[in-house]
């Protein structure tokens, strides 16, 4: 049983092992793909509970099993290492506002950061951006780390029903219905940011329209292809 709640499994229980393994792999992928540096975190909702697991004040690239933490959606400590990430409200407030969301990533991605401070938006110029709207993700304007529930709620409001919000002069928050989807979206957002940056040096690119994004979204999806590939790259590194 978790330290503080009888209805939530312990963080080191066998029923959460697959999920915590996946969370650590996801962290290592974002690090290996160059999206995170010393900062950033990913969370995953504990199934059927108002609780989530994230990394305990450690870089995604350095995370280990003994540096995971479980909190409830009010930020109360439940289990694991006792040092929540500074910005735990990013996770708790978004997971509270969006019951269908299973995972949230927060990074200081170079490419999200650059488009968070430009007058031009990060719009889809490749079908990798088909999860975005044609006019690109919204931007959360607030200054300061998202360390309070007030700020977390403002961020969740800026995100709205979308998959991504850019945090001005800070980075991004990306959500998904699985850890794999969050990783796919976070890596693709970074690719799109880089490609948009390259394209804009030549003038206005021919972006995908809302209608064209719809065409792409009607095509079949391959949610595990990219995940398998990124995992293979981690294994090649070992």
We find the least distance from the C-beta atom of residue 174 to another protein, in angstroms, to be: 17
Binding mask 105-144 for another protein (x = CB under 8 A): -------------------xxxxx----------------
205 binding another protein? (CB under 8 A): yes
222 binding another protein? (CB under 8 A): yes
Stretch that binds another protein, among 15-23, 66-74, 104-112, 197-205 (CB under 8 A): 197-205
Chain position carrying tokens 């979308």: 162
Other Cβ atoms within 10 Å of 205 Cβ, number: 14
17 binding another protein? (CB under 8 A): no
Q: Considering beta carbons, is residue 142 or 205 the nearer one to another protein?
A: 205
Stretch that binds another protein, among 8-16, 73-81, 150-158, 208-216 (CB under 8 A): 208-216
238 binding another protein? (CB under 8 A): no
We find the least distance from the C-beta atom of residue 124 to another protein, in angstroms, to be: 7
- By the 10 Å C-beta count (0-12 exposed, 13-18 middle, 19+ buried), 211 is classed as exposed
Angle made by CA atoms 100, 101, 107, in degrees to the nearest 5: 165
Q: How far is CA 84 from the centre of its chain?
A: 17
We find the least distance from the C-beta atom of residue 208 to another protein, in angstroms, to be: 5
Question: For residue 97, what are its two tokens?
Answer: 């506002």
Q: Considering beta carbons, is residue 66 or 135 the nearer one to another protein?
A: 135
Among 49, 149, 191, 234, binds another protein (CB under 8 A): 191
Q: Considering beta carbons, is residue 17 or 233 the nearer one to another protein?
A: 233
> Alpha-carbon Rg of the chain, whole angstroms?
17
Quick one: which of 128, 105, 97 has its CA closest to 217?
128
We find the least distance from the C-beta atom of residue 35 to another protein, in angstroms, to be: 13
We find the least distance from the C-beta atom of residue 220 to another protein, in angstroms, to be: 5
Among 65, 178, 194, 234, binds another protein (CB under 8 A): 194
Quick one: which of 135, 134, 125 has its CA closest to 202?
125
Binding footprint of another protein on the chain (CB under 8 A) = 124-128, 191, 194-195, 198-199, 201-203, 205-208, 211-213, 215-216, 218-220, 222, 225-230, 232-233, 236
């Amino acid at each position: 049983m978790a330290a503080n709640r009888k209805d939530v499994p312990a963080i080191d229980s066998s029923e959460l092992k697959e999920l915590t393994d996946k969370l650590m792999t996801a962290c290592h992928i974002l690090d290996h793909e160059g999206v995170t540096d010393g900062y950033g975190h990913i969370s995953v909702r504990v199934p059927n509970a108002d609780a989530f697991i994230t990394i305990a004040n450690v870089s995604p690239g350095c995370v280990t099993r003994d540096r995971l933490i479980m909190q409830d959606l009010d930020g109360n400590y439940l289990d694991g290492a006792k040092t929540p990430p500074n910005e735990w409200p990013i996770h708790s407030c978004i997971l509270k506002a969006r019951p269908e969301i299973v995972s949230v990533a927060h990074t200081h991605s170079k490419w999200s950061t650059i488009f968070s401070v430009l007058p031009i938006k990060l719009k889809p110029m490749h079908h990798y951006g088909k999860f975005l709207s044609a006019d690109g993700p919204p931007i959360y304007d607030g200054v300061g780390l998202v360390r309070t529930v007030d700020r977390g709620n403002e961020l969740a409001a800026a995100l709205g029903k979308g998959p991504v919000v850019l945090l001005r002069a800070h980075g991004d928050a990306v959500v998904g219905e699985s850890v794999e989807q969050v990783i796919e979206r976070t890596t693709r957002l970074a690719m799109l940011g880089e490609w948009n940056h390259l394209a804009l040096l030549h003038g206005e690119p021919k972006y995908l329209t809302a209608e064209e994004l719809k065409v792409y979204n009607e095509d079949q999806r391959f949610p595990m292809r990219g995940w398998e590939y990124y995992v293979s790259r981690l294994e090649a590194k070992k």
